[in-house]
Structures are given as C-alpha cells and as structure tokens.
Chain A
C-alpha cells in the first residue's frame, strides 16, 4: 500500500525548484495561492475603507481631499468585488471541490494555473496604477458619461475597464474548471442529488459567472472602444445611450452579488450540519433554492436603476421579481433553522460566524425588501442607507460565512488548528465592530447623508453617528488584525489537527491534513450525502487507476458511474508565459489599439508552446498502429 502511495506522490507532486513553483498545476497549490492573494487584496480594500472612515469621522475633515477620496472609494469597491470576494468564493471551490467530490485532481489544471496568473497580474496592475495616481475614480460601477471620453479624462477609467477584463477572464476560466470537475470527476455513487451543498453552490455560482460576466466584459470593452477609437455606444449625441451602460453593467452586477453570496450559503450548510452533527434538513430543497435564487437573480437588475426614469410597468415587474427572491432565501433560512432545531450544537468559532450570518443577513435582507419598493428607493437613493444595506448583505451574507469557512477548513489546508480563544475574541470584536460601523449608517442615510462625498458640514448634525461608525471601523480593524495574527501563529504552532477534527461528514475530511498531492488513495465511492457519517466497511473503494502516470477516473454526469480514465496534463510553465504576454496586451491596449494586433503575435506563440504536445509518437507510427486495429480502448495512450 505504501509503495503505491509513494508512487502516486512522485507522479502527482508539482516539480521542485523555482521553475517548478511557477509551473505548478495542483489545484490545492493554486487554491492556496488564490486564497492568500484574495485575502491580501482584502487587507488593501480594508485599509481603504479605514481611510474613508477616518476622513468621515468628523465634519469638515481635511485628512484626504476629494480627488483621492474618489479614487479610494472606487478602489475599495473594485477591490472588494473583483479582487477579493469573487476570487475568494471561487478559490474555496478550487481547493475543496475536487476533495469534496472525491477526485484525484481538478479538470483543466493548466487553464486553472493561467486563470490564477491573470488574476494576480490584473490586481498588481490596478495597484501600480493607483500608486502612480492613475487609480480609477468613477465608482466601482463606472457609470458613463462620467467614465466616458468627455468627462473621464486621463487613463483612470481605462485602468478600471481593463482590470475588469483581467478579473473576468480569470473568473470565467475558474468557472469552466469547476463545472467540468463537478460534472465529470465525482466519485462513483455521488449522483447529482448527493453532491455536498457547498459543491452545488459552487456549481450554480459557476453557471452564474458564465452567463453574467460576459455582460460586463462587453460593457467594459465598449467603454474602452468609446474612449480609445471613438465609437459612440454611450454618446447620446450620435445615437448612443448612457442608460445602455447601466443595463449591461447591472445585468452582470446583480448576479455578481449572488455569485458572492451563494457559495457562502453553501458554506453555511456545511457549517450548520457539522456543528449540529446531523445531516442538513432538506438537502434537495436547499439545492433547488440555490438554483432558484440564481435564476431569479438574472431578472432583477433594473432595481439598481429605479432612479433613471424607466417606464412604470417595467419597474413594477422588477420590484415583484426582487421581492420574489425572499421565497428561495426563506426556504433556506427555514431549512437551516430546522437543522439546528433540538440539536446539540457545538459553539466552536466557525459556528459562531454561521450564527452571526442569521442576525446580520436577515437585517440586510429586510432593508433589501424595503429598497425593492420604488418610493422608498427613490427617497434613499445614493444615501448611506444603501451603503448600510449592501454591507449588511455582503459582509453578513458572505464575508462572515467565508471567515467561518476559512476557520473550518484551515486545519485541512495546513494540518493545524486555529486557536479557539483568539478566534472567539476576533469574532466578538468583528461582530460588535461591524454593527457599530454599519447600523448607524441606516440612520445617516435616512437623515439624507449622501454616499461618495468626501466630507460634510458640521451643521448637518451627522457628526456623532459618523464618529460612532468610525469607532466601529477601528474595532473591525483590530478584530481582523487578531484574526490574521491567529492565522500566522497557528500556522506555525497550532494544535495538530488530524484527518477530521470537527467530525464533519464530507469526503475532504477522509484524507490527511494537508491532503497529499494525489488527494486520495484509494479513491473513494459514496452511498449518500454525508459519506463520513454513513461510512462502513461495506462501502467499496476504487481500484485499477494507474499510479505511475497522471491518470484520473472520469465518471458520468448524472449518476457518476465510472466511464473512462484520462491522462492528466503535466505541470507546465507555459500558462505563466501566456499570462505575461496577455497582460502586456491588455495593458498596452489602454494606450493604443495596435497593442491588440502586435500583442496577438507573441500571445499566439505562447499558446502554441502551451498546446503543442511534448510527448507521443510520430504521426506515421500512430497511423500504422491505428490501421493495424490497435486503437483504444485496447491501446494504453502513453
């Protein structure tokens, strides 16, 4: 047995050395890189938020001026949405989906590596530009005409538009990798209805990415075209229309919220099930709710545009659709309550984050129902009421479960436990700080304080509540520092975790912590939704998958019966080269359209280098073998 695992380790390990580091294709390696990078951007986005809160702490403050303030709130929104939240929810999928479905590897591993590099380079590009005082300053939604050629002078709006290209390419690639993995690499026995809810949420999210992100790609590309080569998409003087921008942006922008939110709901189901130690109530109802939320999520974008003077009938439809979202969300909340009902709950730190979700998200959801009604929306449009709402929904609905999920899975990723004591202190401070920061903003909004304005006069009477909010922001800052310190300390000296420290039910907990390069040996099969709890020695294992080459078992979409075995791609440096060349192309095209033409040449060479097979036989030799009848399934394709 150990000879086989040695062989598997040798086969699946990423190559050593610096070149090997850049060639890595293991989904766990890439997943960790995604997670660390996304948290890095979270810190930057958080510092931007803290700077804004310091500026707003008292009236007529002169800490930063209006121009820098514009850049900072744009950078904050852009960073949190495009560089933190979406990459992080997908990153958890990259690391855990193959483990949770019992696969040896992730589908399309080189493409995945390319997706990471493009994301990293896009983020670096944005922050270099910000450091050079060319940071975008028109809001994370980049409305025209403010971002158009007439008012958006300089290169700031182009930097934003091209950052979108980077992050969307990366997000779309990861989505394809996830969908393919979830559909084709599940352990035998894991039929669609037995997929763990987190994996299902990643599947639904990936489909949302695939159908929503093209919209913002089209939007940002046409914006660059307007700015660079003089097209008129958004120029009303020549037949264009600024409202078109809002349609394209929010057709992406609202699904974006669910892209961030649904995987967090998947994490919620995992946490509640583990810490109440029973299968989640209504597994299939929860699957259907996630799916329904995704579908409805594509039909509500106009509720971001109530103040644009659209026809009354259309607006009523979008109000109805927006309110309809509470049905699947309500089903989920009640399923979770039923899961907890009468259970012996363990209040470990991850569970505290899950419970906080209920409080915070439900407040955010309620203000969401309020905002879906047009008269109220018009009254508080562009005020801090909206800021409070969106932070309650996004931080409560996504960041809290994500932080809880990180706490939960940290032992699996590192082999060590996070400190419960530090974890609970950080949680308590974060919960208090969060509410202190954002609850007063509801009131400020109702009092008429506008968003995105760098200061306010003293006689408006907003000073006290703002100071309270800024105090809350400092509290959150301290809480997150403790969280970070906990990660750093526990990484070195935390208690050894073992395979399954939480006694959790899903497959990732059946392998060692951290998992080996080959994930599982032997490969598992499953007979239900909670394999660890249902496990007996009667559940079969998979044998007959080669260990001396990168062979992966591919299964059927519906019932995951074994179908064929495919040889997996080796590690490769070419995704990195390709990403570098494409980065040059993207950045160059901010300045001249010819960059696309010139950049296409090295990009083509890089991709040819990527795709050209490195091993095999001469075509004539293969033809002779095939014509002699020696072809698959008999041939071992080596």
Chain B
C-alpha cells in the first residue's frame, strides 16, 4: 500500500451548473429539442418558399393573444431566476415560493395558449401552411405543458418531501430548461405571427 493516492474525501456532494451531471443531461435534452424546433422552423420556411402566396388563402393569425403570451413568457423568467438563485443559496423556503410563482405564470401561459390556437385563422387540415403552423405551435405547447407538469411535481416534492439538499440542483436546472422554452418561443413567435404579415 505504498502507492501514491489522491484523497477526494473532502470534496462536496453536489455542484451546480456545468460542474454537475444534471446540467449536462438538461443540455442534452435542450440540444435535442432545439434541433427539433429548428427543423420544424426550417420546414415552415421550406413550405413558405414553395408557395407563391403566404399565407396561402387565409388571414394571418391574430396578433393579440400570441403577443400577450410572449410578454407573459418573458415575464416568467423573473420568478424563475429568483427560484434559481434561491436554490443555489440553499434557501429552500424562497426557492419553492418562487417556483410556485413561476408556475402561476406557466399556468396563465397555457390558458392563453388555448386562445392562440383558436385565433390562428386556419386548421391543421386546411393546407400545408395550416399543418406546419399548428405543428409549430403544438410542439412548443408540448414543451410548455411537460415543463409545467414537471415543475408541479418538483414543487410537490419541495412542500411535502421527502427532500434532500441535492434537489436544489434539480430546481436550478429546471429553471435553465424553462429559459430554453422561453428562448425557443421567440423565433417561433416571429414565424407564426410575423412571417405571414411580412411576406
């Protein structure tokens, strides 16, 4: 037993951000989902490029609900950031409070999303324009919904337990994923609501 050794017994049991495992898993999912968003957006542009008129034969989607929802989504980053920094300070009480506030924003967003679908002014089976518009909005809604449910579960755990300190890492990366969903929305919003108007 004379071999030299590196003693790691004093190392901490968790780490935030890119030092941690959960961050990398989250980034992997973000890369995959980001690629999907990009591909559907490219599909949108491809179909648009092949059509002499855009939107072909329909009024563009109403601006009102989509724009309102963009504002709600951007505003939701504030409670998410508070939740994230509280988690990174191991302030469990503050973290779960801000998580619930962020959930309220996400809920509002999902409700307004229903009105967005109703004022697209086209059906998915009307033509290819309608198909890709609905798919784009539907794909984003799937992400919002799943992250909403995911955050509800996390909030449930933080209020009812059992809990471990490592949950703070999960909470921090949960906010990271939410930022991705928010950022992904901006080009999608531009395509769905403005591409038909500027064409």
Contacts and interface: CB of A to CB of B under 8 A. Distances in A.
A241 B165 contact: no
Interface in A137-178: 172, 175-176
B135 A222 contact: yes
B5 interface: yes
Interface residues of B, number: 64
B157 interface: yes
Contacts of B9: 543-545
B69 to A, nearest CB: 22
Interface string B129-162: 1111011000000000000010001000111111
A238 B91 contact: no
A537 B3 contact: yes
A180 B21 contact: yes
A179 interface: yes
Given A180-B28, A229-B125, A566-B21, A626 B15 contact: no
Contact of B11 (A240, A564, A614, A616): A564
Given A210-B35, A232-B131, A239-B47, A619 B161 contact: yes
Nearest to B56: A239
30 contacts: A108-B21, A176-B25, A180-B28, A184-B24, A210-B31, A214-B39, A225-B131, A231-B134, A233-B131, A238-B128, A239-B51, A239-B129, A240-B128, A538-B4, A540-B3, A540-B4, A540-B6, A544-B7, A544-B8, A544-B9, A554-B19, A556-B19, A563-B15, A564-B11, A564-B13, A565-B13, A567-B166, A626-B92, A632-B90, A637-B14
Contacts of B14: 564, 566, 632, 637
Interface in A515-552: 522, 525, 537-545
A637 B13 contact: yes
A377 to B, nearest CB: 23
A283 B51 CA distance: 50
Interface in A226-246: 226, 229-233, 235, 238-241, 244
B39 A564 contact: no
Given A233-B43, A544-B8, 11 more contacts: A175-B28, A188-B6, A215-B35, A222-B43, A231-B131, A231-B134, A537-B2, A539-B3, A542-B6, A613-B162, A637-B13
A613 B165 contact: no
A565 B50 CA distance: 54
Given A618-B162, A632-B90, A613 B157 contact: yes
Nearest to A545: B8
A282 interface: no
B35 A623 contact: no
Contact of A218 (B3, B24, B43, B134): B43
Nearest to A544: B9
Interface in A289-333: none
A616 B157 CA distance: 11
B132 A619 contact: no
B4 to A, nearest CB: 4
Contacts of B92: 619, 622-623, 626
A248 B12 CA distance: 45
A205 to B, nearest CB: 14
A232 B128 contact: yes
Given A564-B13, A564-B14, A244 B6 contact: no
Interface residues of A, number: 78
B59 interface: no
Nearest to B169: A566
A180 B8 CA distance: 21
A562 interface: yes
A565 B20 CA distance: 10
Contacts of A222: 43, 131, 135
Contacts of A215: 35, 39
B25 A553 contact: no
B8 A565 contact: yes
Nearest to B125: A230
A631 interface: yes
Contacts of A542: 5-6, 8
A237 B126 CA distance: 11
Counting from the closest, the 4 A-B pairs by CB-CB distance are A544-B9, A616-B162, A633-B12, A239-B128
Interface in A209-229: 210-211, 213-215, 217-218, 222, 225-226, 229
B71 interface: no
A604 interface: yes
A557 interface: yes
Interface in A589-638: 604, 607-608, 611-619, 622-623, 626, 631-633, 635-638
B115 interface: no
Contacts of B166: 566-567, 637
A229 B131 CA distance: 10
A42 interface: no
A207 to B, nearest CB: 8
A608 B162 contact: no
Contacts of B25: 107-108, 111, 176, 180
A553 B25 CA distance: 17
A247 interface: yes
Contacts of B33: 214
A239 B159 CA distance: 51
A183 B21 CA distance: 9
